[in-house]
Amino acid sequence: MSMRRPMSLSISILLTLALHSPKFIQSQTQPSILGFTPPAAARETELENKFKAIPSPDEERRQHRVFTEEPHVAGSARNNELARYIADQWRNEGLEDVIIRRYDVYGSNPKSTFLEMVAPVHYRAGLRELPVPGDPDMKNKSISSAWSGMSASGEVTAPLVYAHSGNPEDYELLRKQGIDVKGKVVLVRYSNPYSYRGFKALTAEREGAAAILIYSDPAEDGYKKGKVVPNGPWGPEYHIQRGAITYDFMVPGDPLTPGWASVPGAKRIPVEQAVSIPKIMALPLSWHDAKPLLAQMDGPVAPDDWQGGLPIKYHLGGNRVRVHVKIEMDNSTQPYYVVEGRIRGAQLPDDWIVLGNHRDAWVFGGVDPSSGTASLMELTRALGKLAKAGTRPRRTLVFCSWDGEEVGLTGSTEWGEQFADELRSKAVAYINVDEATSGPIFHGQAVASLAPMLVEATRTLRDPSGKTLYEAWKESSTRERREAKQTEEVTDTNLADTRIGSGSDHTVFLNFVGMPVLGLQFDGPYGVYHSAYDDFFWMNHFGDPGYRYHTLMSQLWGVLALRLANANLLPFDFASYANNIRQFVNELSKEKNVWGQPPSAVQPGEARPSSPLDLTPVLDAIDQFEAAGKRLDESAGHALAAGALDPKLAATINHGAMQVERNWLNPDGIPGRPWFKHILYGARFTYAHLELPGLTEAVEKQDWTTAKQQAEILRQALLNNTKLVNDLNDTLNRKTAGQTAFQSRSDGIH
Ligand SMILES: [Zn+2]
């Protein structure tokens, strides 16, 4: 297709654009997509329409059944069989270079777990999830009993203490009540508020506890929330939230190869030196097994906000109830398998868009991760079909099925470490889908530079409610913010979640490789996470009975991948990035009172607090980066609107723009956690997002020397990226100015 543009029209567009932001283009009637020339946008729209018509709810359901038929925990024969199944499917679908990569990693499997109360009465915990009417899969003999990944082995008989959520402040309160947990067993709840169970284990280990029991209180995911399985989506009496307690917030992946890949012959550190291996025993419990223990406990009555949903008074314990815990683990080296396949780009095969989902599940993995795996399989079928028919993306799409995500983000981390150098030169972005759907509420995450393209893509998709996905997303976000009593109104600028913590396979790509990442999920009431009840029955009755959100996920994932693969100029918005960084810095100053109060807020007669850290130079650098980003946005808008773009020039600009994310890496990492190299994005030990991690943690510790160093690292990175973006802008302007003379020669890239 050719859409040659008369010169006068180009100029009039240029003039219009000079007066308006590039977003103005969106209001034009002809299709407009960030990063595309008008003719390329028209072709892209046609392609996307073809693509979106392929994924079907029936196929999603069929694939979902394949993956949820049997338990498939990391390292199991079934999970490895599914790896071969995926590889076979991908080859049939026309994907290229399909390969199963093996990593020999320190795995974790239970031999036996045992818990009994020995005083004041005897109770032996069943540690099993009982079948419910209507769900034949729950009778499967290979459903595991209760166990925690990476638990230590051992045996202890000791008093039991109720430590609420198991966060450090909870032990503070116990101490104030005169309760010491040293050598004792602690019983904690999963989430009040949520924190990663590995952080609970580390906290208990630091407090000197002999073992930690983590149970699901009905107040959090059970009958206090609503109807339970089989009558509703919430967790029933016997549901057990399995999960690993690996200290992967220190360093994810194989604990014995921190920072390099567990390929054959790789150096391995001794187990004793591995910082991510817990030394404490851990066991998850259903409330069915926790209730008899809680009911017998003595000691002071627990505070009001420690009381849970069971019809008993919760006590702090520490004396009367004694429990006997015995855990035997087989924690040893075993193979994990990552499946990799690609659709090679027709024009830019060495530019990669990476897409991934983990395959391993605690049991059947109805939501986590098999909803995502089904969506991935429908995505590859659809894109494979187009490729077979001769419609290839311009850039290469790389698809990955990760293993051992549940154990320590293991497969993706090893793969990312193995190909870090290649990814740093070739990768445009990584798009992660872990749980595709547990309901209808969309959550979209993106590094701030890709937030605008994510929001834009949702406008072209139809939500099962009949609205566009964009409208549905905006409505649910507005509702959520109202419920959370947030006053900030939902706008296109703040719709996407740009605060990215850890807890899934994007971690290595963002924090170690320095790639921009996106994360997609549909959410809803979901009380059976990591339990056997998270299965095919649950999905067909509660999560997504019509498989319409699975289908929508395949469509959205594909549209984003195709846009990144086909764009003339990659749709990075660095002005938006700068704006986000400014917000992070301002929040840090405000929340941590880095500057003290501004003069206007200081009452007369009150001394102005001292300012241990001056962030003005950082804010100045952010202003410069924002200005550079705006200029590049405008130049890119002009170049694209002109309809023609020299492919070599576009490649120069794109490869330069890809380096911006890499420049946020500090090779030394953040203080204390050298593996985590990104200076804007990090995660707390709880997995919660942590912006400006090195700087923020230093400020929180009031370690002003480190804080000043971290602020300077941030300022330097901002200046480097400002220079890079300014140079790109100069190149683009110089070349496009020279190009207009013979513009009629070509209509650009196809
Ligand atoms: Zn998952």
DSSP string, 30-45: S---TT--HHHHHHHH
Tell me, in angstroms, the distance from the centre of ligand 1 to residue 453's CA. Answer: 25
CB atoms inside a 10 Å sphere around CB 354: 29
Q: Is the pLDDT of residue 177 over 90?
A: yes
Q: Is the pLDDT of residue 152 over 50?
A: yes
* pTM of the entire predicted model: 0.92
Taking the C-alpha atoms of residue 376 and residue 382, their distance in angstroms, rounded to an integer, is 10
Q: Are 283 and 146 in contact (CB under 8 A)?
A: yes
Which positions ≥6 away from 413 have C-beta within 8 Å?
252, 253, 254, 507, 508, 512
Mean pLDDT of 689-702: 95
Taking the C-alpha atoms of residue 524 and residue 541, their distance in angstroms, rounded to an integer, is 13
Q: Is the pLDDT of residue 140 over 70?
A: yes
Name the DSSP letter for residue 741.
G
Tell me, in angstroms, the distance from the centre of ligand 1 to residue 370's CA. Answer: 9
- Residues in a beta bridge with 499: none
Per-residue model confidence as pLDDT tens digits over 329-366: 999 999 999 999 999 999 999 999 999 999 999 999 99
Tell me, in angstroms, the distance from the centre of ligand 1 to residue 514's CA. Answer: 22
Q: Which residue has the higher pLDDT, 120 or 747?
A: 120
Q: Where are the alpha helices (DSSP H) in 195-309?
A: 197-206, 218-221, 287-296
Which of 88-92, 182-186, 539-543, 739-743 bottoms out in mean pLDDT, i.e. has the lowest? 739-743
Q: Which amino acid is at 310?
A: L
Q: How far is CA 568 from the centre of its chain?
A: 28
Tell me, in angstroms, the distance from the centre of ligand 1 to residue 695's CA. Answer: 29
Residue with tokens 């223990």: 293
pLDDT mean across residues, the chain:
92
What is the per-residue pLDDT for 606?
52
CB atoms inside a 10 Å sphere around CB 421: 9
Written in H, E and C, the secondary structure of 497-565 is: ECCCCCCCCCHHHHHHHCCCEEEEEEECCCCCCCCCCCCHHHHHHHHCCCCHHHHHHHHHHHHHHHHHH
Q: Are 283 and 235 in contact (CB under 8 A)?
A: no
Nearest to 248 by CA among 508, 454, 637: 508
Which of 165-169, 266-270, 598-602 bottoms out in mean pLDDT, i.e. has the lowest? 598-602
Task: Return the CA Rg of the chain.
Answer: 27
Tell me, in angstroms, the distance from the centre of ligand 1 to residue 530's CA. Answer: 9
Tell me, in angstroms, the distance from the centre of ligand 1 to residue 371's CA. Answer: 10
Number of Cα atoms under 13 Å in the Cβ half of residue 560: 31
Nearest to 309 by CA among 234, 221, 213: 221
**What are residue 520's phi and psi, to 5 degrees?**
-125, 140
Residue with tokens 């032996």: 124
What is the per-residue pLDDT for 605?
52
Nearest to 426 by CA among 661, 646, 639, 629: 661
Tell me, in angstroms, the distance from the centre of ligand 1 to residue 632's CA. Answer: 37
Q: Are 350 and 396 in contact (CB under 8 A)?
A: yes
- Tokens in use for 302? 């627990």
Mean pLDDT of 521-549: 98
H helix or E strand, kind and range, residue 82: helix 77-93
Nearest to 254 by CA among 412, 450, 43: 412
Q: Is the pLDDT of residue 734 over 90?
A: no
Per-residue model confidence as pLDDT tens digits over 19-74: 334 444 444 456 799 999 999 999 999 999 999 999 999 999 999 999 999 999 99
Taking the C-alpha atoms of residue 692 and residue 149, their distance in angstroms, rounded to an integer, is 30
Tell me, in angstroms, the distance from the centre of ligand 1 to residue 619's CA. Answer: 37
β-strands 681-683, 689-691: how paired? antiparallel
In which band, very low, low, confident or very high, does the pLDDT at 644 lie, cut at 50, 70 and 90?
A: confident
Mean pLDDT of 409-417: 98
H helix or E strand, kind and range, residue 427: strand 427-432
Tell me, in angstroms, the distance from the centre of ligand 1 to residue 80's CA. Answer: 17
Q: Are 219 and 235 in contact (CB under 8 A)?
A: no
* Cis bond before residue 193 (omega within 30° of 0): yes
**What are residue 213's phi and psi, to 5 degrees?**
-110, 125
Question: Which residues line ion ligand 1, judged by CB < 5 Å?
Answer: 368-369, 434
Strands (E), 12-108: 96-106
Which of 285-299, 579-593, 651-665 bottoms out in mean pLDDT, i.e. has the lowest? 579-593
Q: Are 256 and 275 in contact (CB under 8 A)?
A: no
Four-CA torsion 394, 399, 405, 409, nearest 10 degrees: -40
Tell me, in angstroms, the distance from the centre of ligand 1 to residue 155's CA. Answer: 30
Tell me, in angstroms, the distance from the centre of ligand 1 to residue 505's CA. Answer: 9
Tell me, in angstroms, the distance from the centre of ligand 1 to residue 432's CA. Answer: 11
Mean pLDDT of 470-484: 95
Q: Which amino acid is at 339?
A: V
Tell me, in angstroms, the distance from the centre of ligand 1 to residue 663's CA. Answer: 29
Q: Is the pLDDT of residue 10 over 80?
A: no
What is the per-residue pLDDT for 191?
79
What is the per-residue pLDDT for 680?
98
What is the per-residue pLDDT for 192?
72
Taking the C-alpha atoms of residue 530 and residue 261, their distance in angstroms, rounded to an integer, is 27
Residue with tokens 């990760």: 402
Tell me, in angstroms, the distance from the centre of ligand 1 to residue 615's CA. Answer: 38
Q: Which residue has the higher pLDDT, 165 or 31?
A: 165
Tell me, in angstroms, the distance from the centre of ligand 1 to residue 358's CA. Answer: 7
- Residues in a beta bridge with 339: 100, 401
Per-residue model confidence as pLDDT tens digits over 287-303: 999 999 999 999 999 99
Q: Is the pLDDT of residue 204 over 60?
A: yes
With left for phi above 0 and alpha for psi between -120 and 50, is residue 692 left, alpha or beta?
left
User: Counting Cβ atoms within 10 Å, is residue 154 exposed (0-12), middle (13-18) or buried (19+)?
Assistant: middle
Which positions ≥6 away from 670 have C-beta within 8 Å?
676, 677, 679, 682, 693, 694, 697, 710
| Helices and strands counted in the chain (H then E) | 22, 18
